[in-house]
Amino acid sequence: MKSTILTATLLLTGGSVASPHSTHRYGTCQQFDVPITASAEGAVYNLTHIDDNISARSWAIKEDTWSTLKGADRIIKNITISGTYKIHVQLCQPHSSKQPDVIQIATHGGHYDSRYWDAKLQPEEHSWVEDALKAGYPILTYDRLGAGKSDLPDAYHGVQAGLELEILRELTIKTRDGTLHDGMKQSSKDPMRIIHVGHSFGSFLTSAFIATYPELSDAAVITGYAATPYLAMAGYSPWAAQFPPTADKPFDRTPGYIVNQKSGIQNIFFAGDPDTAFTKELLDYGDAIKQPVPIGELASGYKLVGLPGLNYTGPIHFMLAEFDTFICGGDCKGVTNETAQRLSYPKAFALQVDIQPNTGHAFPLHNNASAGFQNRCTLGPPGLDFHPSSKFEVVGYANIYRRSIGPSTISPVRQSGIELRVFSTATATPTPSSMSHPQSPQRQPTDNETIRYAKALHNTALVALVACPILALLPPRKLDAYTFGLGGTTIFSANWLVRERTGRSIWQHVGIGADHRAYNQSMEGNSSISPTEQANLYRELHHATQEMERTGRQEKASVTEQVQNQREAWKAQQQKEVQEEMEEGKSFADMITDQIWEVWNWGKKKDEDE
């Protein structure tokens, strides 16, 4: 039995530095250090030197400056980072093991260490570890490199995202084959099944891990992270960063580490109704367990974001806080693109997104934390058959806003392949029948059906644009509801055709034109603004317009890649034609007239007929 492996791990200390056992209400935990040898490609980045509080604040301001180089653009040279590192681990075994061959590996985010998962303040309400033990599942948490009791290398070149990914891989392999601790013996031919859990930067690592090493993970729970248009837009200034040795709460760290003041901890991690979302004691506790962060880790984090998990076949569960400032700009409702998430993990058997009401980025440290714990993901019966050799169980739905893609534990109501449910009762447990017999999804339209539908709407709008004014002019001509209806249909049809052809409605064209005219008038009337400042203002306006158009295009993404590519190609061609016609001096009325001529003559263009 693999349960004997974990029990032995809690008893053995040979070859590792171990602390005394810690007893939880539902299990026993042991902390020890594991030597991990890892190597990864890194870089020397162009970063601010931080050695006091002033330089820490200057770093944050510079990072938030729009013209500061980011990502790969700030690389000075590439390097290889390697070594053997001490990683501090806590391994917990439940008193009553429900699934001894399944274990969670939880990776914490920035500004904290593994204590994030195991709150000592009201642990029955705020400890993810305690809740896992209560459910009968072993769990491993660890201090990431550069945090807590693990090694604290150079902040610029010694702690970077790629190296941390490889450390997670080594921890996973050792846990999977039973060699995490000296003296452990594998008592079964089958490896441990692993659920990878992450929070914030730990979720960056977890999502990158299942994309890079899909064969090493059986399920994933991603908390405090999703690809949204507002990801990290809050910037670094709200962190109220200080240099750890000279901070209000000092830490022994070398240059390049930063630590948040208490106000920064609240700005990032705590949100929601201040009367109901969290208490002063929870905020104080969140500040008490904070940790410094190496800025080399932050500079290299871009390497982890957006990696597609094309070969990941397990279930994946996203858990977001409703008022997460760091991930969603303060409101996570409606900002996640489930279709894009599904395309990022095309082989995942199930993908689910839940929103935890009235919580901030560190949702375990909020009053509604236990409801999110109940909505955890585990492997093992009872549950849904997701794989021939494993099952996936979603337990509990207390106070959860829910969006799901794929098999569901409740009877679904489908809208474009996406299920939406809002749970506001204390507990709403799915019935056994719905768990064992999930409804089949409704048939989605084929590519050809989608294209034919778009063409039918196009032709209908053209016919209405011509016919409605003619009918309105026929006697008897009256200003009655019939005439107003024809007029409204004419305007709607014209607006439809303009939006279809250019990507923007008539009203948006008018608004953008007014914005540009106002901008030009302000520039002409303000001679005190230098040409350089004018250029900067115009660049910002142009960038904002492009970003709005990009976001709009993302929201209009089609159901399948093929249809999307076809529509984008058609749209590009239409925009090119519109641009050429506008350069020739044609108005929108002329363009619509040409389209009517083309439809009337069965596709023949007016120029060809002449």
Question: Would the pLDDT of 378 be above 80?
Answer: no
State residue 456 phi and psi, 5-degree precision. Answer: -65, -45
pLDDT tens for each residue of 64-122:
999 999 999 999 999 999 999 999 999 999 998 867 789 999 999 999 999 999 999 99
Please state, rounded to an integer, the average pLDDT across all residues of the chain: 78
Which amino acid, one-letter code, is at 452? R
The tokens describing 162, both together, are: 């790629």
Quote the distance between the C-alpha of residue 567 and its chain's center: 26
Question: Residue 248, SS3?
Answer: coil
Question: Would the pLDDT of 400 be above 50?
Answer: no
Question: Would the pLDDT of 432 be above 80?
Answer: no
Whether the CB-CB separation of 30 and 10 falls below 8 Å is answered with yes
Whole-number percent of the chain with pLDDT over 90: 49
Which has the closest alpha carbon to 319: 363, 355, 345, 277?
Answer: 355
The tokens describing 507, both together, are: 């009203």
Distances in whole angstroms, Cα of residue 577 to Cα of each of 570, 584, 591, 605: 11, 11, 10, 13
Report how far residue 126's alpha carbon sits from residue 1's, in angstroms, rounded to the nearest whole number.
Answer: 31
What's the average model confidence in pLDDT over 572-600? Answer: 70
Report how far residue 285's alpha carbon sits from residue 366's, in angstroms, rounded to the nearest whole number.
Answer: 11
Quote the distance between the C-alpha of residue 376 and its chain's center: 18
What's the average model confidence in pLDDT over 312-329? Answer: 95
Report how far residue 464's alpha carbon sits from residue 299's, in angstroms, rounded to the nearest whole number.
Answer: 56
What is residue 14's predicted lDDT score, i.e. its pLDDT?
Answer: 41
Q: Which positions ≥6 away from 471 have C-beta within 8 Å?
A: 486
Quote the distance between the C-alpha of residue 368 and its chain's center: 21
Percentage helix, strand, coil, to 5, in the chain? Answer: 45, 20, 40
Q: Domain-by-domain residue ranges, the chain?
A: 2-74+82-375+391-436, 447-609
pLDDT tens for each residue of 9-52:
444 444 455 555 677 999 999 999 999 999 999 999 999 999 99
Quote the distance between the C-alpha of residue 223 and its chain's center: 9
The upper half-sphere exposure of residue 253, i.e. CA atoms within 13 Å in the direction of its Cβ, equals 31
The tokens describing 307, both together, are: 């990696």
Query: If you write DSSP's letter for every residue of 181-212 in order, what string do you get?
Result: STT----SSSPPEEEEEEETHHHHHHHHHHHH
Band of pLDDT at residue 538, cut at 50, 70 and 90: very low
Report how far residue 562's alpha carbon sits from residue 270's, in angstroms, rounded to the nearest whole number.
Answer: 42
Question: Would the pLDDT of 193 be above 60?
Answer: yes
The tokens describing 135, both together, are: 């459910």
Whether the CB-CB separation of 2 and 188 falls below 8 Å is answered with yes
Which has the closest alpha carbon to 303: 43, 38, 37?
Answer: 43
Which amino acid, one-letter code, is at 106? A
**Number of neighbours of residue 556 by Cβ within 10 angstroms:** 11
What is residue 590's predicted lDDT score, i.e. its pLDDT?
Answer: 73
Band of pLDDT at residue 495, cut at 50, 70 and 90: confident
Q: Residues 2-74+82-375+391-436: name the CATH superfamily.
A: Alpha/Beta hydrolase fold, catalytic domain (3.40.50.1820)
pLDDT tens for each residue of 348-360:
989 999 999 999 9
Whether the CB-CB separation of 595 and 494 falls below 8 Å is answered with no
The tokens describing 482, both together, are: 């019939």
Most confident listed range (176-185, 202-211, 567-576): 202-211
What's the average model confidence in pLDDT over 513-525? Answer: 49
Return the H-helix or E-strand segment holding 545: helix 531-555
Which has the closest alpha carbon to 297: 144, 151, 107?
Answer: 144
The tokens describing 331, both together, are: 């409101």
Band of pLDDT at residue 447, cut at 50, 70 and 90: low
**Number of neighbours of residue 256 by Cβ within 10 angstroms:** 26
What is residue 380's predicted lDDT score, i.e. its pLDDT?
Answer: 38
What's the average model confidence in pLDDT over 282-297? Answer: 98
Distances in whole angstroms, Cα of residue 484 to Cα of each of 466, 469, 476: 16, 11, 14
Which has the higher per-residue pLDDT, 388 or 338? 338
**For residue 469, cis peptide bond before it (omega within 30 degrees of 0):** no
The tokens describing 300, both together, are: 């290299």
The tokens describing 137, both together, are: 């599942």
Report how far residue 385's alpha carbon sits from residue 392's, in angstroms, rounded to the nearest whole number.
Answer: 7
The tokens describing 518, both together, are: 């106002």
Buried b or exposed e, range 10-32, using 16+ CB within 10 angstroms: bebeeebebeeeeebebbbbbbb
Band of pLDDT at residue 288, cut at 50, 70 and 90: very high
Query: If you write DSSP's letter for every residue of 368-424 in order, what string do you get?
Result: THHHHHHT-EEEEEEEEEEETTEEEEE---TT-EEEEESS-SS---EETTEEEEE--
Report how far residue 34's alpha carbon sits from residue 89's, in angstroms, rounded to the nearest whole number.
Answer: 7
Rg (CA), the chain: 29
The tokens describing 519, both together, are: 């901008």
Distances in whole angstroms, Cα of residue 440 to Cα of each of 53, 98, 346, 420: 58, 30, 18, 16
pLDDT tens for each residue of 134-161:
999 899 999 999 999 999 999 999 999 9
Q: Is the dihedral of CA 528, 529, 530, 531 positive or negative?
A: negative
What is residue 407's predicted lDDT score, i.e. its pLDDT?
Answer: 33
Question: Would the pLDDT of 321 be above 60?
Answer: yes
> Crossing angle for the helix pair 561-583 and 588-600, nearest 10 degrees?
120
The angle formed by the CA atoms of residues 570, 575 and 581, to the nearest 5 degrees, is 125
Q: Which positions ≥6 away from 507 have C-beta within 8 Å?
A: 495
